[in-house]
Amino acid sequence: MNSPLSNSLVIIVGPTAVGKTAIAIQLAECLPAEIISADSRYLYRGLDIGTAKPTPAERARAPHHLIDVTPPDQPWSLAEFQSAALAALNAIHARGQLPLLVGGTGQYIKCLVEGWEIPPGNSASGVRTELEMDLAREGVGALARRLTALDPESAARVDLRNPRRVVRALEVALSTGESFVAQRRKTPPPFGVTTIGLTLPRPELYARIDARVDAMLRAGLVAEVEVLVAQGYGWELPAMSALGYRQIGEYLRGECDLREAVRRIKSATRQFVRRQANWFKPNDLTIKWFDAARTPVEVIRDHIRNVLKIQAAQPER
């Protein structure tokens, strides 16, 4: 199909709690569109409340992809996400629909739209297993220092507080003898990209974060974490160290009371927002920014239509 929809991708980015899910669903309802999740936490089955995952009712309003695809003890690599997202994108194009890539995981979005050629890591050699044992024994700080000494270029680019990123960069450097970052070559994808950014004034966003965390507690976040633990998922899993789950784990293990756990969730989420801003900056001219609370969805829809030359008279779902 040779149409604006058959070779286009619309991306919706913005900080956590800004309202990406709600606006993406509204856009999907008034465009011939389907949603591909670019949220690393949405991949995990059973992590629903603490991730603010779209509800079944919301998912019924528009097709969603890459949600609930793996159990918490089987994390996806970046390469697995990239492959699955490209497959979903191609299938959506084949159906004559417009793919909307929606999420706040900057690395996921960049790897897809910039066409990263993700370097291999030879897990079969046991390097990753050894590194994970070192991580458990010495902590992420020791591995970060090791990465800085071995591969300073990657250490300058990787989030050194993120155990998975540090382990992955070390794994590649040790397995191949080359820099993780240097191996990450790019092949631009064969589709046009339109990026929509959603923003809010920081005090307003922080108020939304606080209200959302409180709502998660009322919805049963503590019980959700208890169920995951009862199912045998250990605290050491990356999924169980996600925002909210780590702090509720601290409460359940008696390391703090519930009030303190909630305070820690809100504080950690604000820190996460500041890190997200490193991926998508307000002065990035490739992003068209909209105020998430004050811009009618029709304005965003019309911007997309104008950019992609989609006729307004096109039948809507």
Identify whether residues 150 and 208 lie together within a single domain.
no
Query: Which pair of structure tokens corresponds to residue 178?
Result: 């080359």
Is 199 buried (19+), middle (13-18) or exposed (0-12) by CB count in 10 A? buried
CATH code, domain with 19: 3.40.50.300
217 located within any domain: yes
Q: Using the 3D structure, point to which of 166, 183, 200 is the last residue of a domain.
A: 183
- Long-range residue pairs from 49-56, CB within 8 A, at least 24 positions apart, any chain: 49/216, 49/219, 49/220, 49/221, 49/224, 50/216, 50/221, 50/224, 50/225, 50/242, 50/243, 50/244, 50/245, 50/248, 51/242, 51/244, 52/16, 52/17, 52/21, 52/212, 52/216, 54/21, 54/25
- Residue 190 is predicted with a pLDDT of 86
Q: Identify whether the C-beta of residue 7 lies closer than 8 Å to the C-beta of residue 310.
A: no
Q: How many CB atoms lie within 10 A of CB 173?
A: 25
Six-digit token string for 258: 């519930």
* Partner residues linked to 206 by β-bridges: none
Q: Please give the pLDDT value at position 124.
A: 44
Q: Given 183, 198, 229, which residue is the final one in a domain? A: 183
- Please list, in sequence order, all residues whose beta carbon lies within 8 angstroms of the beta carbon of residue 254, skipping any fewer than 6 positions away: none
Token pair, residue 98, equals 């417009």
Give the per-residue pLDDT at 29: 95
DSSP-derived letter for residue 54 is: P
Inside any domain, residue 239:
yes
Residue 313 lies in a domain: no
Q: What are phi and psi of 295, to 5 degrees?
A: -100, 120
Q: What is the pLDDT of residue 120?
A: 61
Q: Is residue 159 part of a domain?
A: yes
- Taking the C-alpha atoms of residue 205 and residue 70, their distance in angstroms, rounded to an integer, is 30
Q: Are residues 90 and 235 in the same domain?
A: yes
Six-digit token string for 305: 């239509």
Judge if 65 and 194 occupy the same domain.
Answer: yes
Strand partners, 9: 193
Q: 2 in a domain, yes or no?
A: no
State residue 198's pLDDT score: 97
Measured CA to CA, the distance from residue 19 to residue 209 in angstroms comes to 11
Provide the domain count of the chain: 2
The answer to whether position 316 is within a domain reads no
Task: Report DSSP state, residue 17.
Answer: T
**What pLDDT score was predicted for residue 312?**
52
- Asked if residue 136 and residue 101 are part of one domain, the reply reads no
Instruction: Give per-10-residue mean pLDDT for the chain (317 aa).
Output: 74 97 97 95 97 97 98 90 95 96 92 82 64 87 93 88 87 79 77 95 98 98 98 94 96 98 97 90 90 97 91 46
Q: What is the CATH number of the domain that holds 124?
A: 1.10.20.140
User: What type of residue sits at position 245?
Assistant: Y
- What pLDDT is recorded for position 1? 42
- Residue linked to tokens 């199912």: 231
Q: Are 67 and 53 in contact (CB under 8 A)?
A: yes
Q: Are residues 83 and 197 in the same domain?
A: yes
Residue with tokens 């005090």: 203
Instruction: Give pLDDT, residue 4.
Output: 64
Domain limit, last residue, from 159, 183, 207:
183
Q: Which domain holds residue 163?
A: 119-183
Do residues 169 and 202 both lie within one domain? no
Contact 72, 240 (CB under 8 A): yes
Verify that 90 and 233 share a domain, yes or no: yes
**Phi, psi (rounded to 5 degrees) for 259:** -60, -45
Whole-number pLDDT of residue 179: 80
Query: What per-residue confidence (pLDDT) applies to 278?
Result: 85
> Is residue 315 included in any domain, yes or no?
no
170 and 72 in a single domain? The answer is: no
